[in-house]
Amino acid sequence: MDGPAAKLTIVMYHYVRPLKRTRFPGIKGLDLDLFEEQLGYLERYYSLITMEQLIDAIDGVGELPPRSALLTFDDGYLDHYTYVFPKLAERKFQGSFFPPACSAIDGKVLDVNKIHFTLASDVDPDDLVAMIEKTCQERAREFGLHALEHYRENYMVGNFLDPAGVNYVKLMLQHALPLALRRELIDQLFRRYVTSDEPAFASELYATVEQLRLMRSCGMHIGSHGNLHQWLGHLSREEQEMDIDGSLALLDAVGTAPAYRSMCYPYGSYNADTVSAISSRGFKLALTTEVALSETSAAARFHLPRLDTNHLPKQACAPANQWTLAAES
């Protein structure tokens, strides 16, 4: 039976840190002071709920309060343990955290983070574009690549977060090029512009299993973000199942209750095979990167959209913006 189709605001966060005091002030993150201001805004206008409340509501057990909001944090950063967790605990808010298993358990730096920190270094994005395209021209026959015009036409486009050149670098290295070539380029650029000591960098970047377990024991929710942070929608059914199964080890290690398993699709990428795989493994809902308010119906449970932190004001005293007003209607 469907739960009530109420409108819910799910907010998505990634890096949250005192940016100016970090080694990489250019990283695309939310400054800690602005995060606190946004928490003040959310507290004024919303009823902050827990993941358990949301799952129960979708299952038809109880209803959510008007203008409900859920806070979600992707990628399992140490930021979340060091800065976010204490701020949420002070206000008695729950956060839902989604770490990839390979970074928390094995200390691997995700490809997506290697790209982020390469872009946050002193290198000019135009130089990265030139290096990527030079490699594409040199290795075109080896990897069966398209002409550069194809890649530029399809991926040289900006969005509300990044100018065209930066987004082009991200898309080329995230999924446009063949996997083997992508990883070769990513590792080469990361070593050149960030560090050659990957294990040390991982220890600075990600929360550990023990830290995540402590967060969960203090009322935070820990969900799945896959094992290797892959574009699940681009993988075969078998590859998706392997990645999802790999993530269950982390949920078991931190003590997430099987009755409240949640998934956050890496990159927002999924398909019908993904939904079938997580449903058969007892997951109760899944989060996307589609920008919209969510409906708390059973039919929508594996397709829940979110707002980015940038869609809401970062001043506690700000008037309600269009997204907040829409949550009332």
- Of 140, 162, 193, which residue is a domain's last? 193
Specify if 22 maps to a domain.
yes
Number of Cβ within 10 Å of residue 155's Cβ equals 17
Residue type, 143: F
- Do 216 and 187 sit in the same domain of this protein? no
CA separation (Å) from 316 to 87, 182, 307? 14, 42, 18
Q: What confidence tens digit (pLDDT) does each residue in 195-241 have?
A: 999 999 999 999 999 999 999 999 999 999 999 999 999 999 999 99
Q: Phi-psi category of 92—alpha, beta or left, where left has phi over 0 and alpha has psi -120 to 50?
A: left
Residue 3 binned pLDDT confidence (cut-offs 50, 70, 90): very low
Mean pLDDT of 26-38: 95
- Do 102 and 127 sit in the same domain of this protein? no
Q: What confidence tens digit (pLDDT) does each residue in 151-183 have?
A: 999 999 998 889 999 999 999 999 999 999 999
CA separation (Å) from 131 to 121, 135, 172, 188, 309? 15, 6, 12, 11, 32
Of 277, 245, 272, 248, the closest CA to residue 261 belongs to 248
Q: Residues 294-323, buried b or exposed e (16+ Cβ, 10 A)? A: bbbeeebbbbbbbbebebbbbeeebebeeb
Which residue's structure tokens are 């449970």? Answer: 301
- Do 233 and 101 sit in the same domain of this protein? yes
At residue 78, the 3 state secondary structure works out as: helix
Sign of CA dihedral 215, 217, 221, 223: positive
The tally of domains found in the chain comes to 2
**Contacts of range 240-245, beta carbons closer than 8 Å, 24 or more positions apart:** 240/273, 240/274, 240/277, 241/277, 244/274, 244/277, 244/278, 244/281, 245/281
- Do 71 and 22 sit in the same domain of this protein? yes
- Do 99 and 222 sit in the same domain of this protein? yes
Is the pLDDT assigned to residue 2 strictly greater than 50? no
- Do 322 and 183 sit in the same domain of this protein? no
- Do 54 and 80 sit in the same domain of this protein? yes
Specify if 31 maps to a domain.
yes
Residue type, 257: A
DSSP 59: T
Specify if 116 maps to a domain.
no
Specify if 165 maps to a domain.
yes
Q: Give the CATH number of the domain where residue 293 resides.
A: 3.20.20.370
- Of 145, 163, 193, which residue is a domain's last? 193
Mean pLDDT of 69-89: 98
DSSP 233: G
Q: What is the CA radius of gyration of the chain?
A: 20
- Of 148, 167, 193, which residue is a domain's last? 193
Mean pLDDT of 308-320: 98
Specify if 113 maps to a domain.
no
Residue 122 binned pLDDT confidence (cut-offs 50, 70, 90): confident
Which residue's structure tokens are 């509501």? Answer: 57
- Do 129 and 155 sit in the same domain of this protein? yes
The pLDDT of residue 1 is 38
- Do 20 and 169 sit in the same domain of this protein? no
Question: In terms of residue numbers, what domain contains 139?
Answer: 122-193
Specify if 143 maps to a domain.
yes
Mean pLDDT of 135-163: 95
Query: What does the alpha-carbon distance between residue 224 and residue 6 come to, in Å, rounded to a whole number?
Result: 25
The pLDDT of residue 141 is 96
The pLDDT of residue 266 is 97
Q: What percent of the chain has pLDDT over 90?
A: 92
- Do 76 and 182 sit in the same domain of this protein? no
The pLDDT of residue 5 is 54
- Do 308 and 216 sit in the same domain of this protein? yes
Query: What does the alpha-carbon distance between residue 110 and residue 114 come to, in Å, rounded to a whole number?
Result: 6
Q: What confidence tens digit (pLDDT) does each residue in 286-295 have?
A: 999 999 999 9
CA separation (Å) from 76 to 55, 189, 267, 273, 315? 22, 23, 14, 25, 26
Q: DSSP secondary structure string, 250-307?
A: HHHHHT--GGG-EEE-GGG---HHHHHHHHHTT--EEEEEEES-EE--GGGTT-EEEE
- Do 26 and 48 sit in the same domain of this protein? yes
Query: What does the alpha-carbon distance between residue 282 and residue 262 come to, in Å, rounded to a whole number?
Result: 9
Mean pLDDT of 110-134: 95
Specify if 117 maps to a domain.
no
Specify if 266 maps to a domain.
yes
How deeply is 66 buried, as exposed, middle or buried, from its count of CB atoms within 10 A (0-12, 13-18, 19+)? exposed
For the chain, first and last CA: distance in Å?
24
- Asked if residue 308 lies in contact with residue 29, where contact means CB atoms within 8 angstroms, the answer is no
